[in-house]
Structure 1
Amino acid sequence: MLKKLAVIGFGSTMISIGINMFILPFHLINGGIFGISLLLNYVWGFKVGLIFILLNIPIYLFAFKKDPIYFYNGIFGAVISGCLIEVLLPLSGLIHLPIISSVIIGAIVIGVGVGVMLRYHISPGGMDLLALLIAKWTKVNVGVIMVTLDAGIIFSGLFLLQDARLLYSLLIISIIGMLATFITSYHRIKRVN
């Protein structure tokens, strides 16, 4: 249990730092429920963390029916991630980088957080939980499923906001997806004495 809490704490902190310091200042989105929450923030000014938690409710109810273990692991990840996004909001605008640097660094920070949580079968929320369940049923790598779902959200954002900068979001989800795929696929090498 302590190990799971440490993983959730680390992953949620990384995700929150990546979103607040690098993604939010440029009004970009990443994928999943985080991306939808950011879109709703840009369009109507809703609080990202609160909307993130609320949007997760139907997915978690579905997960509870299908696989209670994923539900319990994921509910902590979603609530802690949502709360930390709000707590670390003052980090937004703290660092001023060119957009491409911000995109790459932010995606790496978020990707490490997401990948570590998914490696321990803990969902940082929403679409990631859905991706974990789909991966379990289909045997397709969770990172590949995440990129597919996330691309759909980004194209919806492009349609709604009509801001060409959102194309940078495709790079964000690609980096996050690659890192999540790598981290969840990596197997420890056992030392032979």
Structure 2
Amino acid sequence: MKVHKKLDRKHLLRKAITIPIGALLSAIGLEIFLVPNHILDGGITGISIILAYVTHFPLGVFIGVLNLPFIIIGYKQIGKTFAFSTLYAIICLSIFTSIFIPIPQITTDPLLASVFGGVILGIGVGIVIRNGGSQDGTEILSILLNKKTPFSVGEIVMFVNVFILGSAGFVFDWNSTMYSLLAYFIAFKTIDITIEGLEQSKAVWIISDVHEEIGDALNNRLGRGVTYLNGQGAYSHDKKQVIFTIVTRLEEAKLKSIVEDIDPNAFLAVGDIHDVKGGNFKKRDIH
């Protein structure tokens, strides 16, 4: 029982520290790069940027107010842990965006602003998501609409964001729309990298008549454990041994080289894995 309490406290402490860091980076990306150059982000933040520009009220006010109804919905429909983490992240983001208002922009080049603003914003959002929160209510809305419509969460988010980013052309100019789409794409990809890590794991399936030789080579030359799975061809009904292993992205090329050297005709399939736990899997250096 004491161990669980210690783990819970450690987990909460990590959230309490890392979520503000993510919100701080998001605020830097917004207030120092994107907003001064009339470049929008997607979701509620994008709507908040437009309203702040039109009304001259602080961006943080709209981020807090517009997200509040979605946090309440999320509390009732998704869970209190997610809702509180999201509320904490949005409060931090609202405060930090207000703090950065007097700071002058670093660049007036919209291309540089789109790239650097998108990267910094993406890292910040990714950190918050990794710690169980969110900085935008449209994600909560998309999760709920997904249950009642044939569209996926990603499709709903994309539709909403294309509409919001497209509105930049009417509020600012059409160059702003194109730069906003660029910044959104960069931020989207950076979020993935932040959540999944640079050394994304790969699941590998290999079918070969010399499976034992390949398995031994992967053990000895790559330092990876392998598992033999019993397989059977659906057409030929031939019994086959399927080699299954997990490697890092950096080890993928070496694994393919090993298999190619031993059996050029081997069947090889590689897939992305977002999380690996348990067993003796550890990330290793490539030699």
- TM class by shorter-chain length? 0.7 to 0.9
1:17 corresponding residue in structure 2 = 28
Shift of 1:191: 1.6
Describe the SS at the equivalent of 1:8: helix
Pick aligned residue for 2:174 from 164, 175, 180: 164
Instruction: Name the SS for the 1:28 alignment partner.
Output: coil
Q: Distance in 1 between matches of 2:82 and 2:184?
A: 23
1:7 partnered with 2:49: no
Write out per-residue CA displacement over residues 77-101 of structure 1, whole angstroms, 9 at most, x where no aligned residue. Answer: 11111111001222242x1342101
Give the whole-Å Cα distance in 2 for the aligned partners of 1:16 and 1:158.
Answer: 23
Identity of aligned residues (%): 24
Tell me what 2:101 maps to.
Answer: 89
* Partner Cα separation in structure 1 for residue 195 and residue 157 of structure 2: 12
1:121 to 2:132 alignment:
yes
Give how far 1:28 is off.
1.6
Q: 1:12 to 1:22 in 2, by over 3 A?
A: same
Aligned to 2:161: 150
1:54 and 2:145 aligned: no
State TM-score, norm by structure 2: 0.59
Give the corresponding residue for 2:45. 34
Which residue of structure 2 aligns with residue 64 of structure 1?
75
**CA 1:162–1:62: 2 relative to 1, 3 Å:** same
Task: Kindly provide the CA deviation profile for residues 135-182 of structure 1, in whole angstroms up to 9, marking residues without a partner as x.
Answer: 9969x676x7644432221123324x1511222100111111112233
CA contact (8 A) 2:38 2:172 kept: no
| Higher RCO, Cα 8 Å, sep 6+ | 1
Are the structure 2 counterparts of residues 121 and 141 from structure 1 closer, same or farther at C-alpha, using a change threshold of 3 Å? farther
User: Which residue of structure 2 lines up, in the alignment, with residue 191 of structure 1?
Assistant: 282
- The reply on whether 1:78 has 2:97 as its aligned counterpart is no
How many pairs does the alignment contain? 189
Bigger mean CA offset, 175-184 vs 80-89 = 175-184
Mark the CA change 1:134 to 1:171 in structure 2 (over 3 Å): closer, same or farther: farther
Larger helix share, 1 or 2: 1
Listed one character per residue, the Cα deviations across residues 9-35 of structure 1 (whole Å, up to 9, x for unaligned) are 111010011111101211221111111
Q: Residues 172 and 125 (structure 1 numbering): CA distance in 2 closer, same or farther, change over 3 Å?
A: same
Q: Distance in 1 between matches of 2:134 and 2:104?
A: 24
TM-score of the superposed pair, with normalisation by structure 1 = 0.85
What are the equivalent positions in structure 2 for 1:127-146 lying under 5 Å apart?
Answer: 127-131=138-142, 133=143, 146=157
Deviation at 1:56, TM superposition (A): 0.8
Q: 1:103 aligns with which of 77, 89, 114?
A: 114
Provide the rounded CA distance (Å) in 2 between the counterparts of 1:92 and 1:129.
33
- Please give the secondary structure, in 2, of the residue aligned with 1:90: coil
Other-structure match for 1:43: 54
Unaligned runs of 5+ residues in structure 1 are none
Paired letter, 2:123: V
Q: Is the 8 Å Cα contact of residues 119 and 187 (structure 2) preserved in structure 1?
A: yes
The AA in structure 2 aligned to 1:46 is F
Q: Which structure: greater strand fraction?
A: 2
Q: Distance in 1 between matches of 2:183 and 2:140?
A: 19
Q: Distance in 1 between matches of 2:15 and 2:68?
A: 21
